[in-house]
């Protein structure tokens, strides 16, 4: 392996952590839209989800589960729960509208499902509270 490839391979852990942090921050925005209408409310009229509804519960998982993922705390079990949330979101809300995710608006749900599933297996990476707790 050449020097560049060797160096790039050594970046695997930090890049894993960076992916977790960025994905979690974006995921939290989906939840803040549902719970607080920030940075924008839910379509079609910009409102928030009604307390206790399934969409509200999804928003809670996205905000607080996303925060735990951002911090890299309890990463594996939280990621597994969030992957399940996204699978439910896809099959309950998106897939009935059309077969293809690009048509039914479910690309994000599918991607997050598999990103969180990956983190449930791979762990958080070195830049995480989980890594600090283990050292």
Domain ranges in the chain are 15-134
10 Å CB burial of residue 40 (0-12, 13-18, 19+) is exposed
Task: Report residue 36 as tokens.
Answer: 């607080």
Measured CA to CA, the distance from residue 2 to residue 42 in angstroms comes to 49
Measured CA to CA, the distance from residue 78 to residue 89 in angstroms comes to 16
Task: Report residue 51 as tokens.
Answer: 């307390």
pLDDT, one tens digit for every residue, the chain (135 residues): 699 999 999 999 999 999 999 999 999 999 999 999 999 999 999 999 999 999 999 999 999 999 999 999 999 999 999 999 999 999 999 999 999 999 999 999 999 999 999 999 999 999 999 999 987
């Amino acid at each position: 392996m050449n020097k560049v490839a060797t160096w790039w391979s050594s970046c695997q852990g930090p890049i894993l952590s960076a992916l977790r942090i960025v994905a979690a921050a974006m995921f939290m925005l989906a939840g803040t839209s549902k719970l607080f209408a920030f940075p924008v409310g839910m379509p079609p009229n910009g409102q928030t989800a009604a307390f206790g509804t399934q969409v509200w519960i999804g928003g809670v998982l996205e905000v607080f589960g996303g925060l735990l993922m951002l911090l890299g705390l309890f990463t594996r079990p939280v990621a597994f729960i969030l992957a399940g949330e996204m699978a439910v979101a896809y099959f309950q809300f998106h897939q009935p509208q059309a077969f293809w995710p690009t048509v039914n608006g479910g690309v994000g749900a599918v991607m997050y499902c598999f990103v969180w599933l990956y983190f449930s297996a791979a762990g958080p990476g070195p830049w995480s509270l989980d890594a600090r707790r283990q050292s």
